[in-house]
Amino acid sequence: MATAYDITTKQAEPEQEGSVPVVVVENLHKTFGRHKVLNGISLGVSRGETLAVLGRSGTGKSVLLRLIIGLDTPDSGSVCIQGQAIAGLALDRMGEIRKKMGFLFQQAALYDSLTVAGNVGFPLEHHRRDMSKSERSERVRQLLAEVGMENDLEMMPSDISGGMQKRVGLARALALEPEILLLDEPTAGLDPISSGEIDDLILKLQSERQMASIVVTHDLHSAKTIAGRLALLNEGDVVIEGTFEDLQQSDIGFVKEFLQQS
């Protein structure tokens, strides 16, 4: 069974000891019709830490991200972002909180009608009206350079590979300088080489920016590469939470089965 997140024992870095995690999910329940997706899970993530949420398809991983960003509402339990419970917040206040969160969608979700530069610049045009057009253009170039796409500004999404689309999606997710990064299956649909490149990029960005990051994935190799802590879901519960070595040493049947099949 899931237990409440212990902020005194699970910090990302020594200097963060005693601080409140940036994202706290407490006793979260969510049901769709008769299907119970989340059954009272509790998790927390601190600044500079990456948590990987693992599990089979349909175990509620992506639902968890939607609840954290406020796109869905839990049946019970709470989501707190930087100490602020988001349930029932007015749209304008929720909008301000969302600006602190970058989201990489599973299929990158780029706008087909916009160029690479247009996709990355989209959040800036809508939320950084204080920036001039030239300042936004320079910011877009910097972001694309961070993900190795600085030479592809005028390309259309249909003309670049899946791995390149993920890079553009990451650049867009970083446009508003988020303090929290949410990644939904960042290596899904990619070949092993491209997956490794995305993992390396996520590690680099995390090292440079020290965000609180949550990645949901079924890719165990990716999870153990980019995350210091892993949580394995099954039937709406957190079966185990800890390092990859903790999972390897577990005697829980489902954990052993998951590791063998991954």
- Give the global pTM: 0.87
> What DSSP string describes the chain?
------TTT--SSGGGTTPPPSEEEEEEEEEETTEEEEEEEEEEE-TT-EEEEE--TTSSHHHHHHHHTTSS--SEEEEEETTEE-TT--HHHHHHHHTTEEEE-TT----TTS-HHHHHHHHHHHH-TTS-HHHHHHHHHHHHHHTT-TT-TT--GGGS-HHHHHHHHHHHHTTT--SEEEEESTTTT--HHHHHHHHHHHHHHHHHH--EEEEEES-HHHHHHH-SEEEEEETTEEEEEE-HHHHHH---HHHHHHHHH-
Per-residue pLDDT of the chain (262 residues; tens, 9 = 90+): 444 444 333 333 434 444 568 999 999 999 998 889 999 999 999 999 999 999 988 788 989 999 999 989 999 999 999 999 998 889 889 999 999 999 998 888 899 999 999 999 999 998 988 899 999 999 999 999 999 999 999 999 999 999 999 999 999 999 999 999 999 999 988 999 999 999 999 999 999 999 999 999 989 999 999 999 999 999 899 999 999 999 999 999 999 999 988 7
